[in-house]
């Protein structure tokens, strides 16, 4: 499943993302990139529903589900935490100590300078899309046994992930993990003791607004200063 997602994403990068990037670059607006990205998400999500239907299905868990410490945590939860930490460590090693990872960072930060250094930016972007698809597929495998399997199951997860990434700091993998933990604990506590459980999603929305207003760089993010 994960290799298929990587290959499909790499092909999507070459056949869809690159032509779209040219159109967006000619439009010279950042808002166009956001609109195009949301449009592609809706198109692929609808295609998944059309091909596989919207029927909710069970998905087997890769880890046994046995309670530990008086039902405080389960073996499945420990497995998900272990997978998250392993992926975080692998990403850190990949982007810090490998030539491809360093080239991807250069292509993302300054594509023009990266091209002048001989880096094939298009290939780096395709690898980035494939890597993102692999991480997304792994996340889907982890949450599908809890949320059940259907094309729209990641809608709430994406909102929580966005809130966690903003809280931790965009561009900081460690911040994303810490922010995700804070968002998860906060929404469960608020949903249990303050509001109805059906309104827990509003906690993530409120956190997004608060972070953007009071600390746009997040907990681990750094402010970018540019001379004008």
Choose among 20, 54, 211: nearest CA to 122.
Answer: 20
Q: Which residue has the tokens 């909102």?
A: 159
Tell me the three state secondary structure of residue 68. Answer: strand
Contacts of 222 (CB under 8 A, 6+ apart): 169
Choose among 57, 44, 56, 60: nearest CA to 5.
Answer: 44
Tell me the three state secondary structure of residue 149. Answer: strand
Q: According to the model, what pLDDT value does residue 27 have?
A: 47
Between the CA of residue 219 and those of 162, 181, 189, what are the distances in Å?
14, 13, 21
pTM of the model: 0.73
Do residues 176 and 132 lie in contact, with contact meaning Cβ atoms separated by under 8 Å?
Answer: no
What's the pLDDT tens digit per position in 147-193?
A: 778 888 887 888 888 888 888 887 777 788 888 888 888 888 887 77
Domain boundaries, the chain: 2-151, 154-228
d(CA 78, CA 45): 30
What's the pLDDT tens digit per position in 20-46?
A: 555 554 444 455 656 666 777 788 888
User: What single DSSP character describes residue 195?
Assistant: S
């Amino acid at each position: 499943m994960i290799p298929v997602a990587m290959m499909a994403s790499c092909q999507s990068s070459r056949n869809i993302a690159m032509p779209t990037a040219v159109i967006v670059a000619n439009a010279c607006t950042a808002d166009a990139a956001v609109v195009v990205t949301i449009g592609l998400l809706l198109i692929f999500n609808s295609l998944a529903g059309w091909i596989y239907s919207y029927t909710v299905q069970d998905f087997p868990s890769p880890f046994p589900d046995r309670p530990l410490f008086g039902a405080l945590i389960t073996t499945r939860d420990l497995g998900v935490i272990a997978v998250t930490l392993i992926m975080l460590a692998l990403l850190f090693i990949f982007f810090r100590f490998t030539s491809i990872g360093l080239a991807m960072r250069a292509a993302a930060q300054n594509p023009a300078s990266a091209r002048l250094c001989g880096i094939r930016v298009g290939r780096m972007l395709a690898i980035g899309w494939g890597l993102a698809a692999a991480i997304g597929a792994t996340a889907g495998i982890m949450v599908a046994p809890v949320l059940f399997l259907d094309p729209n199951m990641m809608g709430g997860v994406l909102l929580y992930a966005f809130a966690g990434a903003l809280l931790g700091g965009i561009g900081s993998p460690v911040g994303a993990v810490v922010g995700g933990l804070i968002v998860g604990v906060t929404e469960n506590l608020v949903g249990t003791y303050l509001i109805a459980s059906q309104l827990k999603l509003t906690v993530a929305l409120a956190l997004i607004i608060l972070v953007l207003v009071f600390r746009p760089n997040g907990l681990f993010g750094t402010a970018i200063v540019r001379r004008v």
